[in-house]
Amino acid sequence: AGNWQGAITAYNKAIKINPRYEAAYFNLGVLYDQKGELEAAITAYQQVIALKPNLVRAYSNLGSTYARQQKYVEAIAIFKQGIALDPTWGTLHNNLGQVYWVNSQPELALTSFETAISLEPKMALAHQNLGRLWQQQGNQIKAAKHFLHVIQLEPKNISAHSSYADI
């Protein structure tokens, strides 16, 4: 796991020297997130966004942290802000789709996953998510197509093989 506290202390010292050092806040957010200290991670990511509002990765991480807390409304809002800054980053669309899905909004999830794939056709995770969603919706043919695509992209993806075999 590494020396969490040592790294956190070092980043906090760097912030005391330069309170506008957004990379230190970003790295603190990642560390807190990995430690499971989600409120501290959220605070750090919010500070990054305050200092560097165009850093799309911060929106992605903040939205994902909100989603881990099951704060889906907040996660959706943050992912949409990130997408407004960079509509071409498929990861944000995929992340938004995952939140829509767990928030019982499958139509919006479908659109988000399809957008992610149109932007990044080799994003296996988006194909896998879309396959699972189609499977849940009862469309086995479309599900199979996406699971096969994952298998082509990642031949050792056991989950995709298993999902395909279940069809």
pLDDT tens, per residue, the chain with 167 residues = 567 788 888 888 888 998 898 999 999 999 999 999 999 999 999 999 999 999 999 999 999 999 999 999 999 999 999 999 999 999 999 999 999 999 999 999 999 999 999 999 999 999 999 999 999 999 999 999 999 999 999 999 999 989 999 88
* Angstrom distance (rounded) from CA 37 to CA 48: 17
pLDDT at 9: 86
Model confidence, pTM: 0.90
Evaluate whether 164 touches 147 at the Cβ level (below 8 Å).
yes
Structure tokens at 70: 């099951």
pLDDT at 12: 81
What are the φ/ψ torsions at residue 137 (nearest 5 degrees)? -80, -5
pLDDT at 1: 52
Structure tokens at 64: 């994902």
pLDDT at 7: 85
Query: Pick from 164, 100, 155: which is nearest to 124 by CA?
Result: 155
Q: Tokens 């509002």 appear where? A: 53
In angstroms, how far is the first alpha carbon of the chain from the final one? 38
pLDDT at 4: 79
